[in-house]
Structure 1
Amino acid sequence: MVIAIGFEGSANKLGIGIIKDGEVLSNPRHTYITPPGQGFLPRDTAKHHQKHALDILRKALDEAKVTPSDIDVVCYTKGPGMGAPLVSTALVARTVAQLWRKPIIGFLNPYQPSDIEMGRLITGADNPTVLYVSGGNTQVIAYSQRRYRIFGETIDIAVGNCLDRFARVLKLSNDPSPGYNIEQLAKNGKKFLELPYTVKGMDVSFSGLLSYIEEKAPELVEKGEYTPEDLCFSLQETVFAMLIEITERAMAHCGSQEVLIVGGVGCNKRLQEMMGKMAEERGAKLYATDERFCIDNGAMIAQAGWEMYKSGQTTPLKDTFCTQR
């Protein structure tokens, strides 16, 4: 029996989760929310994490009904992410590991196997093609020849970043998240605005599309030609169609009959609906999670750490640094 605790604080969410042999014992989280139309700055986000770290840690232990002596390994996110929040969270993880005299594991990857492993654990997916979509990542990933390999990705900004930045243009609330509020508005959109559709082989590009709709939106809304709901609907439909195209191509290449959506944008019901239709047409099966596990959380870090610890891997204390990239 192995119990792992995971610390996640790479962006505006601070999460601490505890896993016991594949069972989620606790997974509390606290989100830093800024005023409508504003993003979150690294310094202010780090202060949020510092303020709430001990309360979230206590809540995680209490909900899991475990004590520090029960913990076998401490895990945390080394990167990628925002520098100041990453460092603040890593400091808590390092301190806890030394106070409790436990080994520590840090994750530093171009993509997060923690998201994938948590998705597989929760959904029961065996060997899926993975669409990893969040504020910092947009990648199509599959396991091949004993490692995860990237088959396609964004060549500029992530899809979550694209949605968040457009939400600022419309001055949408950041509570609970900009992407969620875009999703709700899009449900009432009726008029489709054709936007740049940029798929280059197995890769996608969102920056040109974002620049186009950012420039057009104020004028279109002011003239009454399109409503904010129409623009959210048009943006969602376009970017999701791009993502599904490259995911289907990867599934065909790998001969995969499973597709798993992970990452914060993976909570979007419209994305799940569109991906489900594609999977159904291929005779494949869609797996997806809800906001408890697709948004940044500590349990996904604990699960990936549990996997690494079981295979004999830990991180020397001298290597417990952080990096934004």
Structure 2
Amino acid sequence: MVIALGLEGSANKLGIGVIKDGEVLSNCRRTYITPPGEGFLPKETAEHHRKNVISVLRDALNQSGVKPAEIDVICYTKGPGMGAPLASVAVVARTLAQLWDKPLLGVNHCIGHIEMGRLITKATNPTVLYVSGGNTQVIAYSRHKYRIFGETIDIAVGNCLDRFARVLKLPNDPSPGYNIEQMAKKGKKFIELPYCVKGMDVSFSGILTFMEERADKFLKQGYSPEDLCFSLQETLFAMLVETTERALAHCDSREVLIVGGVGCNERLQEMMKQMCEERGAKLFATDERFCIDNGVMIAQAGYEMFKSGTRMKWEECFITQRYRTDEVEVTWRED
């Protein structure tokens, strides 16, 4: 029986969770929310994490009913992510490991999302669409690695949505992407936007620039902000469904798993489900408790690593802003 504590802080979500042999005991989170029209900067985000980490840790331990002495391994997000927030949480993880004399494991953020998705949905060997504010990748497992079949060549889909939300001055509470999703549900008129799929890769920066430069013009022409959100969402998600379908066919897979913060979007799930049904495949997705960055996903990936015999030397327990999904040796899955 293994109990793992996970700490996540790669962006504006600070999450700490406890997992015990696949059972979620606690999943506590605090989000740094900026004023409308503003993004979150590394320095202020790290400051938010430092201010809140002790109270979130206390909540996670109280909710789980687990004492420090019962914890087998402490896991933290090694990367990818924003440098200062990553470092602020890693310092806490290293401190706890020394205070409580526990082994420490640095977890790849992307793999945390995948393993949490697999645990919650019970998907066996899915083609994975990983969509968040910082990452967009189509992934499949093969030969002890999560292989990247396609990805964004510039900005992530979540970043594209967040930045367009700033153009419309939408609030950041609870998140810009969620507010765009709600507005898009009321959109009626579709505007044809640039559609940029390059083989298995996608590009979102040109679409964002197109919308930023023409938003005022469209509004003057009688399109509503809801129409703009609807048109942007439909175009971005169609690109993601296309590349995922191609990977699904190549891998001869019968499962698609959507993970990452944008994976909560009901319209994306709806479009992907339709594609899956047409191919005789099944869609798996989770809700905001496990889609949005959280500590328990880091605990779950760390739990799998620890159980399969992975150990890290102290000098290996650093952070890195660039940590590729396909760099990690997946020791816990059979070929």
- What TM-score comes out, normalization by structure 2 length? 0.95
2:252 corresponds, among 252, 255, 267, to 255
2:66 aligns with 66
Task: State the Cα distance separating 1:145 from its structure 2 match.
Answer: 2.1
Distance 2:42 2:144 in 1: 36
1:164 aligns with 162
**AA at the equivalent of 1:198:** C
Task: State the Cα distance separating 1:178 from its structure 2 match.
Answer: 0.3
**AA at the equivalent of 1:181:** N
The alignment status of 1:319 with 2:316, answered yes or no, reads: yes
Distance 2:42 2:141 in 1: 33
Superposed CA offset, 1:218-261 (max 9, x none): 2221x142111000000000000000000000000000000000
2:227 aligns with 230
1:35 aligns with 35
Task: State the Cα distance separating 1:183 from its structure 2 match.
Answer: 0.1
Distance 2:166 2:294 in 1: 24
1:5 aligns with 5
Distance 2:148 2:98 in 1: 35
1:265 aligns with 262
State the percentage of identical aligned residues: 74
Gaps of 5+ in 2: 323-335
* Partner-residue secondary structure (3-state), 2:258: strand
1:19 aligns with 19
Task: State the Cα distance separating 1:147 from its structure 2 match.
Answer: 1.7
- After the TM superposition, list the runs of 4 or more consecutive aligned residues in structure 1 that deviate by more than 6 angstroms: none
**AA at the equivalent of 1:307:** E
**AA at the equivalent of 2:234:** E
2:176 aligns with 178
Task: State the Cα distance separating 1:146 from its structure 2 match.
Answer: 2.5
- What TM-score comes out, normalization by structure 1 length? 0.98
The alignment status of 1:199 with 2:193, answered yes or no, reads: no
Task: State the Cα distance separating 1:91 from its structure 2 match.
Answer: 0.5
* Partner-residue secondary structure (3-state), 1:191: coil
Distance 2:144 2:80 in 1: 23
The alignment status of 1:132 with 2:130, answered yes or no, reads: yes
Distance 2:314 2:145 in 1: 25
* Partner-residue secondary structure (3-state), 2:16: strand
Superposed CA offset, 1:6-29 (max 9, x none): 000000000001000000000000
* Partner-residue secondary structure (3-state), 1:210: helix
**AA at the equivalent of 2:192:** E
1:280 aligns with 277
2:328 aligns with none
Task: State the Cα distance separating 1:314 from its structure 2 match.
Answer: 1.9
Distance 2:12 2:312 in 1: 25
Equivalent pairs, count = 322
Gaps of 5+ in 1: none
Distance 1:32 1:146 in 2: 36
1:241 corresponds, among 238, 243, 249, to 238
Task: State the Cα distance separating 1:94 from its structure 2 match.
Answer: 0.4
**AA at the equivalent of 2:85:** P
* Partner-residue secondary structure (3-state), 1:122: helix
Distance 2:216 2:205 in 1: 18
* Partner-residue secondary structure (3-state), 1:66: coil
**AA at the equivalent of 2:257:** L
Distance 1:317 1:294 in 2: 30
